[in-house]
Amino acid sequence: MSNKNLSLLFTGQGSQFSEMGIDFANKYDWVKERYSLSSKILGYDLLEAQSKTSLLNLTQYSQPMIFVFSSIVIDLCKDYLTKNFAKITLAGHSLGEYCALYFAGSLKFEEMLEVVKFRGDSMSIVSDPNKYSMYAILKKEDTKIDESLFGTGVYIANLNSDRQVVICGLKDKVNEFKEQNPIGKFIPLNVSAPFHSDLMIESSFIFKEKIKNCLFKKINIDLISNHNLVNYKNISEKEYSNQLTLQIHSPVMWSETIKAILEKEINTCIEIGPKKTLLNFLPRDFQGEKYSLCNIEDINNVQ
């Protein structure tokens, strides 16, 4: 795979599961140490929290869980990937953008985990599975979904592909929307808050205040943001915190992100995260190689 152009895609929230990371912890002592360090930073036993279904899908827990897992895969593979590909372009879906910044070296592990903790805590103030819901919609052929379909309490959260969008909002309003708009298959997501909508504005303000003293390092690798397709490489590191703040309450423009990445003549796409999800959003006519790095076997197959 050497001398090819690579895109690394980092999975976001909703991909978590209770056993993630255990195979790595059983094999590598440094991974055990990372989980121990993470537990000290977070204030609770991370692997124990993963095993509790009552905590697994709560945003203040699932975001650090996913980041720590992804950081382990990153640190296992980063040297190989940077040595064997001529050019690398990064993008992460929602929380995955923080994993991408970690890969790019903008913050050390402990620093980025603190930022992710702040994000999860800030977003958790509107985290209530009894009040809010999110659905992925697999659209019917030739169905157009735009803002004209929406009223108060229902929002477009993710524009994932030409066939899939994600909506969120107040649970009763979303259920009403489903009944009134049979526009495709509605799939409930394992999240507890109306991410990437106006309902998250207060959370974004809290998050911005918490990270105001965080010193991000300038990255020298292309990293396309969810918000307005901004390339972190082309902005000042002083703008990173504002970009991440805007990302919390803005729709994830994933379909446009992928189109921008593929314009860079990408030969290989690799997804890093607990489960393979983002590779499914690549255009059907993508002719390059596709890999997911979700476990030890996946890593052995790529290296």
What are the tens digits of pLDDT across the range 77-121?
999 999 999 899 999 999 999 999 999 999 999 999 999 999 999
| Residue 22 sits in the same domain as residue 123 | yes
| Residue 161 sits in the same domain as residue 116 | no
Please state the pTM of the whole predicted model: 0.94
How many C-beta atoms lie closer than 10 Å to residue 20's C-beta?
A: 23
Confidence label for 4 from pLDDT (cuts 50, 70 and 90): confident
More confident residue, 96 or 299: 96
Q: Print the domain residue range for 55.
A: 4-127+197-302
- Would you state the pLDDT for residue 1? 47
State pLDDT tens for residues 14-32. 889 999 999 999 999 999 9
What tokens were used for 170? 């107040």
Strand-pair category, 4-10 with 85-92: parallel
Strand-pair category, 184-188 with 132-139: antiparallel
What tokens were used for 191? 């999240």
Domains in the chain, number: 2
| Residue 152 sits in the same domain as residue 282 | no
Contacts of 235 (CB under 8 A, 6+ apart): 243
The CATH number of the domain holding residue 24 is 3.40.366.10
| Residue 220 sits in the same domain as residue 138 | no
Q: Are 94 and 196 in contact (CB under 8 A)?
A: yes
- Would you state the pLDDT for residue 146? 63
| Residue 111 sits in the same domain as residue 25 | yes
| Residue 20 sits in the same domain as residue 108 | yes
- Would you state the pLDDT for residue 301? 82
Q: Are 288 and 279 in contact (CB under 8 A)?
A: no
* Beta strands per DSSP E along the chain: 4-10, 85-92, 132-139, 154-159, 164-170, 184-188, 222-224, 268-272, 289-293
**Last-in-domain residue among 143, 168, 188:** 188
Residue 21 to residue 229: CA distance in whole angstroms: 31
Q: Are 74 and 105 in contact (CB under 8 A)?
A: no
| Residue 109 sits in the same domain as residue 246 | yes
Confidence label for 151 from pLDDT (cuts 50, 70 and 90): low
| Residue 214 sits in the same domain as residue 174 | no
| Residue 228 sits in the same domain as residue 297 | yes
Place of tokens 């476990």: 295
**Last-in-domain residue among 165, 188, 211:** 188
Bridge partners for 231 per DSSP: 224
